[in-house]
Amino acid sequence: MVKIIFMPLLFTIGSFANNFESDCLKCHKQSAIPMDMIYKRYLLEFSSHEDMKRAMVNFLKNPTKQKSMLPKGLLMGMSIKEKSNLSDKQLEDRIDEYLKIYDIKKRIVPGRPTI
């Protein structure tokens, strides 16, 4: 099951790798903040991809500690990232790619019944 999910995920990542890797992952890998954790925090707060995207664009264009979805403790030891240099279109495309890669709907599998 893990392979079935994971292989297409790698393929998807690979196909968008150029832009997404250079524009996003490059820094995120260095800062050691997992992209999946960010997705989960946005999901927990905004529920739908539409609202998550709106919030991400808003943050990346004008990042503040108030808008950040990182845990307060983590934020205290870190400086806030700089404004994105990407155009609105590029920014939206990268976020779309990101949401597509980590889409929760694609990752859900039925668990074993508890009762």
Partner 1 sequence: MQVAERKSLYRFIGVYIVSTMLLVIVAVSFYYHHEMSNIENRQKDTMDGWSKEFVNELKSAHQNAGDEVEYPTNKRFESAIYDNKRKLIYATFKAPKLLKNDEMFWVSGDKSYFITKVSPHFLGTTFLMIKSNIDMAPIDKLQKQIIYFFIASFLIIILASYLLGRLFMRPLRDAYSVLDDFIKDTTHELNTPIHTILSNIELIEDTPKSKEIQTSFDRIEIASKTLNGIYKDLVFLKLQQDMVVTSKYIDIGKNIYERIEYFKLSIKSKRLNLTTNIANDVKCKIDKHHFARMFDNLLSNAIKYNNLDGNITIICTDDMLLIENDGIGISEKNLKYAMDRFKRFDKSVGGFGIGLSVVSKIVKMYGFDISISSVINKTTKVEIKW
Q: List contacts with partner 1 (CB under 8 A).
A: 1-2, 5-6, 9, 36, 40, 43-51, 104-105, 107-115
82 or 113: CB nearest partner 1: 113
> Helix axis angle, 88-101 relative to 49-61, nearest 10°?
140
The minimum distance between CB 26 and partner 1, in angstroms, equals 22
5 or 17: CB nearest partner 1: 5
User: What is the 3-state secondary structure of 37-92?
Assistant: HHHHHHHHHHCCHHHHHHHHHHHHHCCCCCCCCCCHHHHHCCCCCCCCCCCHHHHH
Q: What are phi and psi of 79, to 5 degrees?
A: -90, 155
The minimum distance between CB 22 and partner 1, in angstroms, equals 23
89 or 112: CB nearest partner 1: 112
The minimum distance between CB 55 and partner 1, in angstroms, equals 12
The minimum distance between CB 85 and partner 1, in angstroms, equals 30
Distances (CA, A) of 64 to 12, 19, 90, 98: 31, 25, 21, 21
2 or 76: CB nearest partner 1: 2
